[in-house]
Amino acid sequence: MISKFLKNIFSNDKIENKNLIDNKISRKFHNLKNNSFNDLKNLGFNEAILIAKFNKEKIKDNEIEKLKDFIWSAYNHLIAQNSNNNQTLSMIYYFMSTFSLKNKDSINSIHLRELSSKHKLLSLKVDGIEGEVIIIGGKNCCQECNSDNGKIFDYNFLVKTPRLPHKNCSNKYGCRCTYGFQAKRDKNGSLIFRNSAEIEKLLRENGLI
């Protein structure tokens, strides 16, 4: 009688522990799904299409690895969709880098952060205008990032010798610095153009002549 009673207690404890574990996994699943879907929507993924694709996969709320694979494929879809937009590609790769880091893939995260910085740099090239690149340090980052904050570099130099992301950044989320464009100006404060033909082209493109 006592033995049966104890068995029932142990059985109930096992069921309760299993339910607790299942609930924990389910919460983790839905937190990851909601946060990642919000990021994807902010990057331009159509919400209705995203949800339709997800529902088609029939991923259960205890299949976290399958969810991660789905999210990754959605990021790759955005890359293909924005292959000619360096600014958007920079943002996509940055979010992918953060996603990788949070999921314990630090090596892939570093490579993706490098791609993000590369496309950010490419997005800064302004036809016809002489300019330089300024490093904008991530807020509350690390000593290496802080030491480069505000430094100005020649555009072509950075194309050949990338400065970002900082290799020895100690921030737990990796280097969050980015590039900014700074137009060159003459002593009178006017923009410096490369040549008269490019000036004319730039003015025409902007409907000024």
Instruction: Kindly state the tokens that stand for 78.
Output: 């955005």
pLDDT of residue 184: 81
How confident is the model at residue 209, as a pLDDT?
Answer: 46
Q: How many CB atoms lie under 10 A from the CB of residue 199?
A: 15
In this predicted structure, what is the pLDDT of residue 174?
87
d(CA 2, CA 185): 90
Distance CA 145, CA 138 (A): 7
Token output for 189:
């404060």
What are the tokens at 97? 């880098």
Intervals of the chain under pLDDT 70: 1-22, 127-128, 194-209
Q: What pLDDT shows up at residue 191?
A: 72
The two tokens of residue 207 are: 């409907």
Q: Which residues pair with 182 in a beta bridge?
A: 132
Kindly report the average pLDDT of the chain as a whole number.
85
DSSP the chain: -HHHHHHHHHHHHHHHHHHHHHHHHHHHHHHHHHHHHHHHHHTT--HHHHHHHHHHHT--TT-HHHHHHHHHHHHHHHHHHTTT-HHHHHHHHHHHHHHHHHTT-HHHHHHHHHHHHHHHHHHT--TTB-EEEEEEPPTT--HHHHHHTT-EEEHHHHHHS---S-TT---TT----EEEEEE-B-TTSPBPBS-HHHHHHHHHHTT--
- Rounded to 10 degrees, the C-alpha dihedral 81/85/88/93 comes to 80
pLDDT tens digit string along 162-204?
999 998 999 888 899 999 998 888 788 777 776 656 555 655 6
